[in-house]
């Protein structure tokens, strides 16, 4: 969790009001866009082309370029914030288009962008360009605050208001106290997740995100195990071996028996590479020593290796090296399917 690492929100809060006054003419628009270019590091040719088009008053070309920029770099919080605000506020000659802004925020929120969650929450709360939905707004504020590190309770309201460029309704501001309790309470993520999983239909993405936020604040092996299983099996979220194995490894390193057994089983099936032919057996034996029900798996693993390898696995159960994990990409965990 990004506790107080708010460079992105700070820049957005400073630059969006500047761009918001750029509708007075092309000169003002060019000045605002120049400041945006200087103070942000958005590496996108389409984004640059869109700003240049606005500099010259070519709104259709700017809109086309912005659409391409979002398609190419939809994970970039700067792009989401700036482009959505252009449509929401009608900046630089662009007509206000709440539907377009809501669509951009929804896509950003689906990808886990905290700023997009907060902006969408305000539009849902006020019914601005979308049907009013206060319940969804509450959960978006909670998840957005957690993603951006606003975990200090109501003391964060001023900073949060600056980020979204306006005041936060008192009811939503009060949710920051809930966020503080959430990060201070071990295991609360699983409890909150279970309420989402018990819904009809279950909201697996929200359940996963609350567990991920909770694990970052208060790491515990059971939460890591559940997150690992969800990502590896794609239980209502986009499958991810990168996040799945990392969570599973964290759980196993904390002596979680089922996580240790799952690593052994996946090595046995060839899903996790191993340097030695006895590695899978060693992981399964370690899991057995922890109380996991892996007797049939241990028998299958022993049949695949020599007696010498069996003895080596028995000796190595306490000295297993860390897993060789794939490199992390930019994708956040808990991504929805069929985005």
HEC per residue, 222-265: HHHHHHHHHHHHCCCCCCCHHHHHHHHHHHHHCCCHHHHHHHHH
Average pLDDT, the chain: 87
Ordered DSSP codes for 119-147: HHHHHHHHTSSS---HHHHHHHHHHHHHH
Give the pLDDT of residue 2: 47
Q: Which CATH class is domain 7-140?
A: mainly alpha
pLDDT value at 14 more than 60: no
- Specify the 3-state DSSP secondary structure of 168: coil
For residue 160, the surrounding DSSP H or E stretch is helix 157-164
Give the pLDDT of residue 320: 81
Query: Of 254, 196, 255, 275, which is closest to residue 230 (Cα–Cα)?
Result: 196
Q: Poorest-confidence range of 190-194, 257-261, 323-327?
A: 323-327
pLDDT greater at residue 193 or residue 10: 193
pLDDT value at 139 more than 90: yes
Mean pLDDT of 158-165: 83
Q: What tens digit of pLDDT does each residue of 235-285 get? A: 899 999 999 999 999 999 999 999 999 999 999 999 988 889 999 999 999
Give the pLDDT of residue 21: 44
CB atoms within 10 A of CB 174: 15
pLDDT value at 15 more than 80: no
Give the pLDDT of residue 60: 94
Mean pLDDT of 77-98: 87
Give the pLDDT of residue 214: 95
Per domain, the residue ranges of the chain are: 7-140, 223-339
pLDDT value at 165 more than 80: no
Give the pLDDT of residue 339: 54
Give the pLDDT of residue 336: 93
Confidence of residue 25 (pLDDT cuts 50, 70, 90): low
pLDDT value at 302 more than 90: yes
Mean pLDDT of 133-155: 94
């Amino acid at each position: 969790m990004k506790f107080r690492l708010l460079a992105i929100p700070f820049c957005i809060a400073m630059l969006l009001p500047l761009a918001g006054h750029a509708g007075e003419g092309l000169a003002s628009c060019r000045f605002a866009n120049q400041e945006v270019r200087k103070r942000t590091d958005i590496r996108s040719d389409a984004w640059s082309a869109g700003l240049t088009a606005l500099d010259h008053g070519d709104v259709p070309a700017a809109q086309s370029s912005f659409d391409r920029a979002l398609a190419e770099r939809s994970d970039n919080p700067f792009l989401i914030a700036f482009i959505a605000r252009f449509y929401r506020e009608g900046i630089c000659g662009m007509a206000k288009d709440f539907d377009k802004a809501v669509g951009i925020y929804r896509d950003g929120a689906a990808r886990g962008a905290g700023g997009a969650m907060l902006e969408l929450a305000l539009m849902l709360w006020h019914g601005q360009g979308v049907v009013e939905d206060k319940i969804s707004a509450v959960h978006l504020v909670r998840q957005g605050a957690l993603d951006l590190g606003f975990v200090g309770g109501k003391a964060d309201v001023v900073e949060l208001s600056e980020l979204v460029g306006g005041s936060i309704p008192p009811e939503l501001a009060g949710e920051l106290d809930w966020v503080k309790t959430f990060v201070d309470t071990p295991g609360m993520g699983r409890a909150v997740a279970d309420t989402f999983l018990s819904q009809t239909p279950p909201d697996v993405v929200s359940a996963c995100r609350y567990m991920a936020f909770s694990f970052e604040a208060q790491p515990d092996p059971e939460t890591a195990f559940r997150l690992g299983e969800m990502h590896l099996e794609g239980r209502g979220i986009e499958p991810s071996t990168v996040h799945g194995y990392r969570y599973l490894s964290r759980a196993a390193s904390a002596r979680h028996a089922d996580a240790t057994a799952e690593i052994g089983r996946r090595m046995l099936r060839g899903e996790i590479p191993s340097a030695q032919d006895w590695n899978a057996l060693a992981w399964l034996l370690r899991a057995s020593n922890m109380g996991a029900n892996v007797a049939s798996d241990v028998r299958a693993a022993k049949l695949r290796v020599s007696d010498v390898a069996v003895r080596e696995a028995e000796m190595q159960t306490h000295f297993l090296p860390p897993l060789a994990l794939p490199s992390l990409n930019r994708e956040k965990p808990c991504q929805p399917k069929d985005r």
